[in-house]
Amino acid sequence: MSTDANIESIFHASIKTKQKAVGELIKPISDAIGLMVGQLEAGNKILSCGNGGSAADAQHFSAELLCRFERERPSLPAIALTTDTSTLTAVGNDYHFDQIFAKQISSLGQTGDVLLAISTSGNSPNVVEAIKMAQQRNMHVVALTGRDGGKIAGLLSSSDVEIRVPSDVTARIQEVHLLTIHCFCDQIDEIMFANN
């Protein structure tokens, strides 16, 4: 297959995954937005974490809340737990890599805060531990997963939200995760600031 044909195939695979996802994910995305808006309006914050591309997504979401998405509005409280290399390496070295997010949540997370936990497999050990710590801190969890939801799916309570992309391909899952994050940003702004 030529490069052009391969590129076209990737585009079609991405479109097909998004078309399948739209039918399954509108309600959980809407539920997650409602949860986030409610907690932000109550004065709480959103913490986010993930590994690799999911770490980039966590940082992207945090940046959109802290700065702005597509409209001028006040900054919203968000922390990406993936950015502080001194903390990440200290915790990884002194405790275990599985604890790099949980340790931060143990001090930064408060009752009513939201953890956005991102893992394409649903099995990332440090994201699993982050969710466990968030639950100990009486936080809410929004999980972005894929495949069968992995270990994360079994950890969530009825008040948490899982947005599970219907795909087994990491790149396709990540593409829908990014679209989901943009839905979060757009609707948080619309609900909280449309009348400003």
36-48 pLDDT per residue, tens: 999 999 999 999 9
Q: How many CB atoms lie within 10 A of CB 187?
A: 18
Given this model, what pLDDT does residue 170 score? 98
**109 pLDDT more than 80:** yes
How far apart CA 140 and CA 172 sit, in angstroms, is 26
What are the residue ranges spanned by the domains of the chain?
Answer: 3-193
Q: What percent of the chain has pLDDT over 90?
A: 98
Report domain 3-193's class: alpha beta
- Considering just the CA atoms, what is the radius of gyration of the chain in Å? 17
How far apart CA 149 and CA 131 sit, in angstroms, is 14
For the entire predicted model, the pTM comes to 0.97
How far apart CA 6 and CA 149 sit, in angstroms, is 29
Q: What percent of the chain has pLDDT over 70?
A: 99
**196 pLDDT more than 90:** no
How far apart CA 129 and CA 105 sit, in angstroms, is 10
Residue range 30-89, pLDDT digits in tens: 999 999 999 999 999 999 999 999 999 999 999 999 999 999 999 999 999 999 999 999
How far apart CA 180 and CA 178 sit, in angstroms, is 5
Given this model, what pLDDT does residue 1 score? 80
How far apart CA 158 and CA 151 sit, in angstroms, is 16
Q: What band does 195 get if pLDDT is binned at 50, 70 and 90?
A: confident
Q: What band does 122 get if pLDDT is binned at 50, 70 and 90?
A: very high
Given this model, what pLDDT does residue 176 score? 98
